[in-house]
Amino acid sequence: MADTPAVATASTAPGPGLEIFSEAPAPEPRRPRVLLVGTAMAAGAAATGVLAMVALYVQLRDETIGSGRTWLPEDANVELTPGNMGLVSLVMSMVTVAWAVYALRNNDRVHAGLAILVSMTFGAAFITDTWYFWTQAGLVVGRDPQAVLIYAITGASVAMVAAGMIFLLVMAFRALGGQLTGRASEGVEAAALFWYVTIAVCAVVWYAIYVTK
């Protein structure tokens, strides 16, 4: 009977494990997604600039056609095939970019890097198709006023794709270095956001330049 209080005292006393957890620091507060928000603002600004040029192009074209004149010169060769191939390449890259985000969220850095590499290949194919269009268009800047807008608009879309490729490349190096894994995948998510906005802008350019001409 004399030992009973000692047993009760030992059972109610905090163990060493409880003391360790009680002194553990509080979890870090959730970091605001600065990179993702900044990327959204930058992508929106770039898209606004390109779409403004597209709006000017459509307005001038409608005014020219409405006055009874032809918009493109007779020797112009604005083919639909380069635009179609370029846009198809970008549409396929939407799947690979989503694959990169999914793989990185699951700590699969190897497949994330592979997905980014394939996405950049699709982007390079788009740039190649646009370059082919430039060489075959038959438009001269000093002679054809339409050429200035056409080259400026398609060149701006190429610039957005190139910027997206650089963004993806930087995030690929960070992912392979272990800086972007699991929950800390904001960088590749931001790159994917910029890439998707770029594809949407290129789709508008495709319709305005290649389809309606």
Domain of residue 183 covers 35-211
Domain count, the chain: 1
- In a domain, residue 127? The reply is yes
- In a domain, residue 22? The reply is no
- In a domain, residue 124? The reply is yes
75-84 pLDDT, tens digit per residue, is 888 889 999 9
Identify the CA nearest to 114 among candidates 126, 137, 130, 97: 97
CATH classification of the domain holding 197: 1.20.120.80
37-89 pLDDT, tens digit per residue, is 999 999 999 999 999 999 999 999 999 999 988 888 888 888 899 999 999 99
Query: Model pTM?
Result: 0.81
- In a domain, residue 121? The reply is yes
